[in-house]
Structure 1
Amino acid sequence: MDGQSQLGVFLQARRSRVRPDDIGLKTYGDRRRVPGLRREELALLAGVSASYYTRLEQGQSHNASPAVLDALARALGLDESERRHLHDLGAGAARARKGLRRPPPEHVGDATRHLLDALAGVPAVVLGRRTDILAWNALGHALFASHLPADGPDRAPTRPNMAALVFLDPDMRALYADWETKARSVVANLREVVGRHPDDARLASLIGELTMKSPEFSAMWAAHQVRACDAAPHTMHHPLIGAVTVTQQALRTGDDQSVVVAHTAPGSPSRAALALLADRGAPAAPVAPVAPVAFERSCAGGAR
């Protein structure tokens, strides 16, 4: 994932979605060979030369200033998440690349462990920046992935990965009443992470595997939607407690990890259902072991 090429691809994708009529640009009935704005039209709106913008989109310019990126964001009508993503990609294009970087292993710090313990009555999962599941409390495991071994996050080489589970694991797919909305939020968050870490080898491996194995992921990834995980309601069909509606909220830690909690409205049937799940714990009847869905580390030689 080269930041320079990612910048050009993102600009082109966003440019193709802006119709001239949407911004009051008169076309005088001319026949257009490309969807959305032409390069020279976007350059004009952003106040830069057409030749400079062309070099930027083609990855031939390395020095887009923050002011130019802001001007392009305004011309394209980007929201705040997309604007930050554009700046992240611009910063990545300006840095010299020496190939994909092997990142250090991720560990859960003591402070995050203590937070997880304090959230014992609420389903909680700790995700690394690549959505590896680094830890979960008992209720988090019971809600999100009771079909996986409880100690899965403790085994670094085969840790389950939340994005891979959402797209490749049939149990996880069946868990969400509106799977497509959940899947799109996962992809949009991964786009945001890629902008901040364009040279992460293991992240590149994850994106590559999901693109090859899931046509749905490939189509959503090509849409270039960008959104950091925040808070969103989801209705889940749990095999033990039935339908439950939770708000999944991501709390970012200082070491670029997220504690995802699933909380419910006080006094709601969903709150009572989670209390029942906490009482029942794991399924009483043994189930056949299911291998965790994790992306193949060997693709990019990522750290274990």
Structure 2
Amino acid sequence: MSTDDLSTQVREFLSTRRARISPEQAGLPAYGGNRRVKGLRREEVAMMAGVSVDYYIRMERGNLSGASDSVLESLADALQLDEAERVHLFSLARTSASPSRARRAPAPVTVRPVIQQVLDAMPDTPAWVRNGRHDIIAMNPMARALYSLILEDPRRPANTTRFVYLDRRAPEFFVDYERIAQDAAAMLRLEAGRNPTDKALIELVGELSTQSELFRHRWASHDVKFHRTGVKRLRHPVVGQLDLDFESMDLSSEPGLRLNIYTAAAGTPTADGLKLLASWAASQLGIPTEMAAGETA
């Protein structure tokens, strides 16, 4: 990331956060009915953050170098940033202060055998490991069956966000496609703030920006988001709709990698769907169906 690129990220992130807050939301009186700016004025943000107008203008022009943690916290409060947005603001500030220190060691491109053992020890549950670019690093058979459409792309590592934005089947596969697309871009934006020198991430963003108008729009919003827990609804081409609970967690032993696990409450249609998926996955691997269903051979 060049200095100009970083300045642009800072400027657009701060200006878009400022534009979304009305004076009423900030608890400020809205004098007059014809405001020339959307959201808050720079002067109003500076007042609430406890800094001079000139200092805030310098920050919004892309210069966060030298900003103390207390100033950043006050700015985050003034702009009503959520947890992910605060992390992103501090990441941008660290890079501004020391671009050379922003370079991080690349995440592993494979997992240790014991991690694969952990995945395979969950035979009835789709489980997989990804990096911050959303490259799939490792999977168990259930995850391969669940994401069989994504794995049809011959490029490796397979990338879930590339599928979301560039595969025509994605809107049908993801029941909540608009939210999925928005979240995918927001998570990539968060990763770009954390790891601005990741060449592969820069190339992925370039590819998606070139080929997807929707991605360009989502990327330009400068939204950021954590992806830790929730519900993912999929229309699987073999077993039908699955409403899956997901948990995503950092692998502390593998910095930069996250473990994703999809489950369903017992007795639900999705739990039955996962049993069908297990049988289908077993048939693809040549495993007897009764063994796949957990019955005594």
The runs of 5 or more residues in structure 2 that have no matched partner are: 285-297
Matched, 1:21 2:24: yes
In the TM superposition, 1:1-304 aligns within 5 A as: 1=1, 2-29=5-32, 31-97=34-100, 103=106, 106-146=109-149, 148-149=151-152, 158-254=156-252, 255-281=255-281
Q: What CA distance in whole angstroms lies between the structure 2 residues aligned with 1:87 and 1:15? A: 17
How far off its partner does 1:59 sit?
2.1
The answer on whether the counterparts of 1:189 and 1:227 sit within 8 Å (CA) in structure 2 is yes
Q: What CA distance in whole angstroms lies between the structure 1 residues aligned with 2:184 and 2:86? A: 19
How far off its partner does 1:168 sit?
0.9
The runs of 5 or more residues in structure 1 that have no matched partner are: 285-304
Letter in 2 for 1:193: E
The answer on whether the counterparts of 1:43 and 1:53 sit within 8 Å (CA) in structure 2 is yes
Q: What CA distance in whole angstroms lies between the structure 2 residues aligned with 1:104 and 1:188? A: 20
Corresponding residue number in structure 1 for 2:288: none
How far off its partner does 1:7 sit?
2.1
In the comparison of the two structures, how many residue pairs are matched?
279
Higher relative contact order (CA 8 A, sep 6+): 1
Instruction: Provide runs of 4+ in structure 1 moved above 4 Å.
Output: 97-105
The answer on whether the counterparts of 1:250 and 1:259 sit within 8 Å (CA) in structure 2 is yes
Corresponding residue number in structure 2 for 1:290: none
Letter in 1 for 2:50: G
Q: What CA distance in whole angstroms lies between the structure 2 residues aligned with 1:147 and 1:63? A: 44
- Please list the CA deviations of residues 95-130 of structure 1 after superposition, one character each: whole Å capped at 9, or x if unmatched: 135998894762212332122111222112211121
TM-score (norm 2): 0.86
How far off its partner does 1:93 sit?
1.1
The structure-2 alpha-carbon separation of the partners of 1:111 and 1:129, relative to structure 1 and needing over 3 Å to count, comes to: farther
TM-score (norm 1): 0.84
- Please list the CA deviations of residues 37-83 of structure 1 after superposition, one character each: whole Å capped at 9, or x if unmatched: 11121111100011111111112451111111100110111112211
Letter in 2 for 1:206: L
Q: What CA distance in whole angstroms lies between the structure 2 residues aligned with 1:280 and 1:11? A: 49
